[in-house]
Amino acid sequence: MSEIILAIESSCDETAAAILKNGTILSNIIATQSIHEKYGGVVPELASRAHQQNIIPVVEEALSAAKIAKNEINAVAYTKGPGLLGALLVGAQFAKSLAYAMEIPLIGVHHMHAHILAHFIEEPKPGFPFLCLTVSGGHTQIVLVRDYLDMEVIGQTKDDAVGEAFDKSAKMLELPYPGGPLIDKLAQKGNPMAYEFSKTDMPGYDYSFSGIKTSILYFLRDREKSEPGFVQNNKEDIAASVQRALVEMLMVKLRKAAKDLKIKNVAIAGGVSANSSLRSALLNEAEKRNWNVFIPAFEYCTDNAAMIAIAAKYKYEASIFEALDDSPNPRLPF
Ligand code: KG4
Ligand code: ZN
């Protein structure tokens, strides 16, 4: 019997839908909301409204691209959290209505579990146990993944997420939101050793990015004062130095966790795993320490519904379903 899952992701500013059939992604559609660019960050109310407008066309496109009819779907999945409440509600409500009307199971997926399970969309797939550095706009975690449905956060940020540190640094360089990818692009042409910023070390495998953010802010402010035009004239070197510092911070704890736990399978996930410097740092470790590294394809790094679909597959197979009176949780525990 075939297993067809429709998955919906609406936790932040992308409205996405995907169709998974017997473990294979048939379509993966994403509508990115450009409305937020002019505000320098995601405006929750505008995100919810845009999800409302996008959700039906995005789902229809996912179905038609997959050549699947609505009545062939065996289960419908949605992002249960964490995320923006109004945004989550749109996806959850849509999924619930469809599950109710079609009398099919409803599957609630944790957004961060899905980022990790995105590694099981394509080959090569990591073997268990593996460590996953999960880095996005809202999270920075080192996760010990024992099985598809058995994961534990062993380290995390105590304040800002690394994606936020990228985005806020970009803002200081007057780059539009989300600035992470733009820092990455500028950094390719800059000198990563040009400037040093002070990094905060935390106990164990935890992170803190608020100190370095302040250090970057003060550095830029002071240099701009003594040398007007400094920021504009040195954007590439600043971006490269910021990127090096942030990637170093990520790698120090990841290396420590891998060594302590004697784990050689190491993966990265989440929006920041699209970062070219983080990717090459990981490949470097693979060579130096014999790690088997797993880096998702670009389209599965940032928010998408294919990752919700694959995560839903493991819940479907274990018959873990959501009741129709479920409501999403913006702070859903890991
Ligand atoms: O996982 P994601 O798409 O959404 C959240 O769940 O947050 O991650 C978005 C984050 C943003 O902070 C964005 O700037 C960052 O990922 N990002 C990057 C790159 N691509 C996306 N940061 C650094 N370099 C990149 N190439
Ligand atoms: Zn995400």
For the segment 57-85, what is each residue's pLDDT rounded down to a tens digit? 999 999 999 999 999 999 999 999 999 99
Decide: 296 and 273 in contact? Cβ < 8 Å: yes
pTM over 0.85, yes/no: yes
* Closest residue by Cα to residue 313 from 5, 19, 91, 79: 5
Ligand 1 atom 20 nearest Cα: 181
Work out which ligand 1 atom sits closest to the CA atom of 139: 7
Pocket around ligand 1: residues whose beta carbon is below 6 Å from it? 12, 136-138, 163, 166-167, 178-181, 184, 270-272, 274-275, 302-303
Cα 232 to Cα 34: distance, rounded to the nearest angstrom: 25
**In the chain, what are the helix, strand and coil shares in percent, each to the nearest 5?**
50, 20, 30
CA of 302 to the centre of ligand 2 (A): 6
Work out which ligand 1 atom sits closest to the CA atom of 136: 8
pLDDT confidence of residue 45? 84
CA of 244 to the centre of ligand 1 (A): 16
330 φ/ψ angles, rounded to the nearest 5 degrees: -60, -20
- In terms of Cβ atoms closer than 10 Å to its own Cβ (0-12, 13-18, 19+), residue 72 is middle
CA angle, 183 as apex, 181 and 188 as ends, to 5°? 100
Cα 279 to Cα 275: distance, rounded to the nearest angstrom: 6
| Residue 4 identity | I
> What is the pLDDT tens value at each position of the chain, 334 positions in all?
789 999 999 999 899 999 999 999 999 999 988 877 777 778 888 889 999 999 999 999 999 999 999 999 999 999 999 999 999 999 999 999 999 999 999 999 999 999 999 999 999 999 999 999 999 999 999 999 999 999 999 999 999 999 999 999 999 999 998 899 999 999 999 999 999 999 999 999 999 999 999 999 999 999 999 999 999 999 999 999 999 999 999 999 999 999 999 999 999 999 999 999 999 999 999 999 999 999 999 999 999 999 999 999 999 999 999 999 999 999 999 9
Encoding tokens for residue 74? 């065996």
